[in-house]
Amino acid sequence: MESTRNEEISSFFDSAPPLKNRDNIKHKLNEFIRLNSSPNGGDEEKARRIVCVTSGGTTVPLEQRCVRYIDNFSSGHRGAASTEYLLKAGYAVIFLYRRGTFQPFCRSLPDDPFLECFESIDPKNIQVRQQHSEAVKLAIRDHHTAVAGGLLLKLPFTTIFEYLQMLQMTALSLSSLGPHAMFYLAAAVSDFYVPWKSMAEHKIQSGSGHLDIRLVQVPKLLSVLRKEWAPMAFCISFKLETDSRILQEKAEMALRKYGMHVVVANELLTRKEEVFVVTGNLKITVHRDKTQVDSDVENPLIELLVNRHSVYMKESDT
Amino acid sequence: MESTRNEEISSFFDSAPPLKNRDNIKHKLNEFIRLNSSPNGGDEEKARRIVCVTSGGTTVPLEQRCVRYIDNFSSGHRGAASTEYLLKAGYAVIFLYRRGTFQPFCRSLPDDPFLECFESIDPKNIQVRQQHSEAVKLAIRDHHTAVAGGLLLKLPFTTIFEYLQMLQMTALSLSSLGPHAMFYLAAAVSDFYVPWKSMAEHKIQSGSGHLDIRLVQVPKLLSVLRKEWAPMAFCISFKLETDSRILQEKAEMALRKYGMHVVVANELLTRKEEVFVVTGNLKITVHRDKTQVDSDVENPLIELLVNRHSVYMKESDT
């Protein structure tokens, strides 16, 4: 069983096209971790906690020269919102996100903010449209403050191959922080993929009337993250289902099977209203504050998780 | 043969989830066409030509409550660039585009222009970053001038179901313009889909080790567009291949099979450098002006196509 798993994993990584800019990403990660883990000249007690937030969906290419791919739907709203609250709670955040998905501090902007929020007042000048004025100023200010302050490192991915290689690199780098590190795995990761080597080189031709695609399961790397890559880090994974009947069962299974510290379960239709937090033997329902207009479920969720992380760090110390 | 085709087509449209905002889209289309086709109080001779540019890729949902889908890669760069040149040539443009893809006049901006182009100078003010200053001003000015001037109508789609229903609506509306209308079908449309009714209602469960997906062919609606929806319109379709050996052959086949007036053939790797225009018995290679730094292939391509459209209009008159 164990050896089959290892085989699956090495076959996945061996077959993956190598990450572009690998050295550059590694360098950025190490610098970010170095600066944030010893802000006071190496005083470990005061080291900042660092969290890796993953966000958005991964793609699975169906052809090597990629024209078609399978995508997992995820706007990245959860990951972006959570990043804001984690920064507010004092964490430094490595934001591993799908290109084109929601960015921290930009949630209250329209779909295409560049074209929607600005207008031309004369050939030489543009201005922010009145109704978006506050949102635009806050978004740009808060986003740039976090990035320029060295508290937010943004790393984009598209394919499942890029995502898993970047997650591995991040985990191996963060493992040095022990229980100070957190993983908040909100990305919608593909369950199935086409191994790179068995993939068609050229665009699949239509003509025969139908197309059969066989996908194989992506190895479950959550347990490898827990056991090998960063064994002391505090790990939170997500379970999204559209069928509420199987949701809790699947969340508890994920907790046990992958050794997660917390699993956040959510249903597609109600995911912005409430989530179920499964941890140890507890099941906690977290919902947004409905008395507030602009409230969201990420605010109380992150508060809860930061507390659980604190408890975990204390327990790990003793 | 004919009856099989008709069956495929009605089965596609019957099984498609109905378009949201159908009435609203129809109203916008009709107003846009009415205003542009009679700019001088109904003087038909001076009526503006109207082109429908399709841009970006369509998705094929694999589940009804859509978590996973197959996507066709297309940045929308070609459609956005072509729209700019068509506006410049005096056309009114219906830009039928995939959400999130390139927009006209925004090509020279960075990936995430909202966050890349602006900076916060103090808590109350933001400004355009120096290096993007010109590009940002031009993009916002030209984009808004076209939209506000009633010359550019933007209609977004995501799925193949939305795309084909919107294309049908547009074609039926534009058919009243006869040969004055043009279709520039640059969108990367899925060849295969899962019929809505045979689709899983809930998220497909992993667990069995692999996943088999059977897709059926999307009915070829290009010939229906030509023969039924807008029989007098000037129609240009695109053929993208990754394998240059089969490209020309496929382009000529498309020209004959679907009754296109022009097929623009391009290869994935060289598509920004050159394209092959197949029309009647001619094959014309169009490439960008390499003596210019910022030149693109869309500039000479649109010039050629506008000329062909003029010839076509004259021929149709006699």
Report which of residues B133 and B236 the model is more confident about: B236
Interface of B with A in 268-287 (CB under 8 A): 268-269
Whether chain A has a CB inside 8 Å of the CB on B214: the answer is yes
Is residue A82 within 8 A of residue A52, CB to CB? The reply is: no
What b/e sequence results for B185-209 when a residue is b if at least 16 CB atoms lie within 10 Å of its CB, and e otherwise?
A: bbbbbbbbbbeeeebbeebbeeeee
Q: Quick count: other Cβ atoms within 10 Å of Cβ B278?
A: 23
pLDDT at A206: 58
Q: CB within 8 A of B192, min separation 6: which ones?
A: A206, A210, A211, B60, B70, B215, B216, B217, B218
> What is the β-pairing status of strands B234-241 and B181-185?
parallel
pLDDT for residue A220: 85
pLDDT at B156: 97
pLDDT at B313: 96
Q: Is A200 or B261 the better-scoring residue by pLDDT?
A: B261
pLDDT on residue B225: 96
How many other β-carbons are positioned within 10 Å of the β-carbon of residue A273? 13
Please report residues of B whose CB lies closer than 8 A to that of A66. 73
- Amino acid, single-letter form, for residue A132: H
CA A23, CA A124: separation in Å to the nearest integer? Answer: 42
Backbone region of residue B41 per phi and psi (left: phi > 0; alpha: psi in -120 to 50; beta: other values): left
Tell me the C-alpha distance between B102 and A201, whole Å.
27
How would you class A58 by CB atoms within 10 Å of its CB: exposed for 0-12, middle for 13-18, buried for 19 or more?
A: buried
Q: Average per-residue pLDDT in chain B?
A: 89
What pLDDT is attached to residue A77? 95
Q: What is the pLDDT of residue A303?
A: 98
**pLDDT at residue number B208:** 63
Q: Which residues of A touch B129 (CB under 8 A)?
A: none
How many Å lie between the alpha carbon of A122 and the closest alpha carbon of chain B? 8
pLDDT for the residue numbered B107: 87
* Per-residue pLDDT tens digits for A59-84: 998 877 667 899 988 999 999 999 99
> At residue B269, does pLDDT exceed 90?
no
Mutate to test the interface with A, among B95, B211, B217 (most CBs of A within 10 A): B211
Edge-to-edge strands, sheet with B68-72: A59-61, A68-72, B68-72, B59-61
The phi and psi torsions of B140 (rounded to 5 degrees) equal -65, -40
Q: Which residue has the higher pLDDT, B194 or B277?
A: B277
The answer to whether the CB of A298 falls within 8 A of the CB of A81 is: yes
Touching check for B196 and chain A: CB below 8 Å? no
Q: Are the beta carbons of B206 and A214 separated by less than 8 Å?
A: no
Are the beta carbons of A141 and B126 separated by less than 8 Å?
yes
Strand pairing class (B262-267; B274-279) = antiparallel
* pLDDT value at A207 more than 70: no
* pLDDT > 90? residue B220: no
**Using CB atoms and an 8 Å cut-off, which of residues 171-190 of chain B contact chain A?**
188, 190
Half-sphere exposure of A308 (CA within 13 A, CB side): 24
Q: Of B159, B153, B213, B233, whose CA–CA distance to B189 is shortest?
A: B159
Contact (Cβ atoms closer than 8 angstroms) between residue B268 and residue B72: no
- Give the relative orientation of helices A2-15 and A160-174 as an angle to the nearest 10 degrees: 110
- Asked if the Cβ–Cβ distance from A67 to B268 is below 8 Å, we say yes
| A103: contact with B, CB 8 A cutoff | yes
* Chain A contact present for B68, CB below 8 A: yes
**What per-residue confidence (pLDDT) applies to B171?**
98
CA dist., res. B121 & res. A217, Å (int): 49
Which one-letter DSSP state was computed for residue A63? B
Min Cα distance A251 → chain B (Å) is 14
Specify the pLDDT at position B240: 86
Chain A CB contacts of B139 under 8 Å are 114-115
Name the residue among B72, B103, B201 with its Cβ closest to that of A115. B103
% residues pLDDT > 90 (chain A): 63
Residue B145 phi/psi, 5-degree rounding, is -60, -45
> In angstroms, rounded to a whole number, what is the distance separating the alpha carbons of residues B219 and A209?
10
- The most confident of A201-210, A308-317, B200-209, by mean pLDDT: A308-317
Contact: B268, A112; criterion CB under 8 Å:
no
Residues in chain B: 318
| Rounded distance between C-alpha atoms, residue A74 and residue B68, angstroms | 9
Q: What pLDDT score does B227 carry?
A: 94
Alpha carbon of residue B45 to chain centroid: 27
Within 8 A of B240 by CB-CB distance, chain A residues are: 67, 203
B204 CA: distance to closest CA in chain A (Å): 9
How are beta strands A68-72 and B68-72 bridged, if at all?
antiparallel
d(CA A53, CA A38): 21
Q: How confident is the model at residue B205 (pLDDT cuts 50, 70, 90)?
A: low
Q: What would the pLDDT profile of B17-67 be if each residue is shown by its tens digit?
A: 899 999 999 999 999 999 998 755 555 556 789 999 999 999 998 877 667
Strand partners, A125: A122
Closest to B272 in 3D by CA, of B81, B52, B33, B18: B81
Query: Phi and psi dihedrals of A262, rounded to 5?
Result: -145, 140
Residue A99, pLDDT above cutoff 70: yes
Tokens 């099941």 map to which residue? A283
Cβ distance of A213 and B215 shorter than 8 Å: yes
Q: Which domains does chain A have, with CATH numbers?
A: 1-38+47-232 (3.40.50.10300)
Number of inter-chain CB pairs under 8 A, A vs B:
166
Strand B282-287: give its sheet, edge to edge. Answer: B152-157, B92-98, B50-55, B181-185, B234-241, B262-267, B274-279, B282-287
